[in-house]
C-alpha cells in the first residue's frame, strides 16, 4: 500500500514555543490531506482538510491561527502548533488519499502519528 | 463532528473466538471503511465497503453494510492475540471528509 511518512514521531517542547509536524506521501501524490487529533483512548477528531495550493478547511472549533496548515506541494503538508500550551498535548495524525488519476480508491493512508507533549 | 458510533466500546474474548463490532452512522455515505490502530500508532486500513455493496470479505474479516439501517458490522473470525487493537469505522462523505466513530477496543486473550 501507499506510504505516508509523518515526522517527528514525538516531540517535547516548552510552553509558548511553536512545533511543526510534517506529513509526506512517499509514493503517491496527495491533493488532499487530513489532520486529526486523538486524545488517549478516544477516537480521531478531524481538525482540518488540507488542499494542495489552497487554504485549509478547518472544522468547527479548531483555531486557524493556532494550528497553521500548509500544503505547498502534492507530497507535503505541514501542521504548525503555534504558541503551544499543555492543553495542546496530544497525538496528531495525518492522512492522505491516493488519487490514481481519475480513479480514487477511497482508501485513506495514515502516518504513524506525532505525539506532542507541551511542558 | 463524529457521526459514527461503534459498539461495544470494549470487547474481551479468548483466542480462537469470533469478534463482532458494530458501527452506526447518521448521514448518507459514499463508502464505509474499517481501520485498525495499535496503541500509540497510526491507523491501518482494513477494508472498504461501498454504499451499493452489502457484504465483503478479506481473509478473516467480514464486513456487512445495511444502508437502510445506516449500520455496518465487522466480524473477525478465529481471533488471535495479535488482533488486539482498537478498531474504528469511518464514513466517507462523498470525498469531502472522513468521520470516525469512537472505536472498539478489542482484547484477545491467549
- Quick check: B30 contacting A, CB < 8 Å? yes
Q: Residue A104 — very low, low, confident or very high, per pLDDT cuts 50/70/90?
A: low
Which of B45, B103, B105 comes nearest A108 by C-beta? B45
Helix or strand run (H / E) with residue A94: strand A90-100
Top-confidence residue, B96 or B49? B49
Residues A34, B100: C-beta atoms closer than 8 Å: no
**Separation of first and last alpha carbons in chain A:** 37
What pLDDT sits at residue B4? 58
What pLDDT sits at residue A106? 66
Residues B48, A113: C-beta atoms closer than 8 Å: no
Rounded to an integer, what distance in angstroms lies between the CA atom of residue B23 and that of residue B19?
Answer: 14
Rounded to an integer, what distance in angstroms lies between the CA atom of residue B80 and that of residue B83?
Answer: 5
pLDDT above 80 (res B33): yes
Among A14, A6, A31, A11, smallest CA distance to A96 is for A31
Residues B42, A112: C-beta atoms closer than 8 Å: yes
What pLDDT sits at residue A102? 40
Amino acid at each position: 500500500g501507499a506510504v505516508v511518512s509523518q515526522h517527528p514521531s514525538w516531540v517535547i517542547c516548552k510552553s509558548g514555543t511553536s512545533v511543526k509536524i510534517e506529513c509526506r506521501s512517499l509514493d503517491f501524490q496527495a491533493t488532499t490531506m487530513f489532520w486529526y487529533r486523538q486524545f488517549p483512548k478516544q477516537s480521531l477528531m478531524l481538525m482540518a482538510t488540507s488542499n494542495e495550493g489552497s487554504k485549509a478547511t478547518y472544522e468547527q472549533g479548531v483555531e486557524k491561527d493556532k494550528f497553521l496548515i500548509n500544503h505547498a506541494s502534492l507530497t507535503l503538508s505541514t501542521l504548525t502548533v503555534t504558541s503551544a500550551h499543555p492543553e495542546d498535548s496530544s497525538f496528531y495524525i495525518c492522512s492522505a488519499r491516493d488519487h490514481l488519476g481519475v480513479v480514487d480508491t477511497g482508501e485513506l493512508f495514515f502516518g504513524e502519528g506525532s505525539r506532542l507533549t507541551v511542558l | 463532528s463524529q457521526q459514527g458510533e461503534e459498539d461495544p466500546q470494549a470487547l474481551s474474548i479468548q483466542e480462537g473466538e469470533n469478534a463482532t463490532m458494530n458501527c452506526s452512522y447518521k448521514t448518507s455515505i459514499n463508502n464505509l471503511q474499517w481501520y485498525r490502530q495499535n496503541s500509540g500508532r497510526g491507523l491501518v486500513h482494513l477494508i472498504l465497503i461501498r454504499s451499493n455493496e452489502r457484504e465483503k470479505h478479506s481473509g478473516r474479516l467480514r464486513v456487512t453494510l445495511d444502508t437502510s439501517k445506516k449500520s455496518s458490522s465487522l466480524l473477525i473470525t478465529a481471533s488471535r492475540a495479535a488482533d488486539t487493537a482498537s478498531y474504528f469505522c469511518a464514513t466517507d462523505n462523498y470525498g469531502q471528509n472522513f468521520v470516525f466513530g469512537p472505536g472498539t477496543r478489542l482484547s484477545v486473550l491467549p
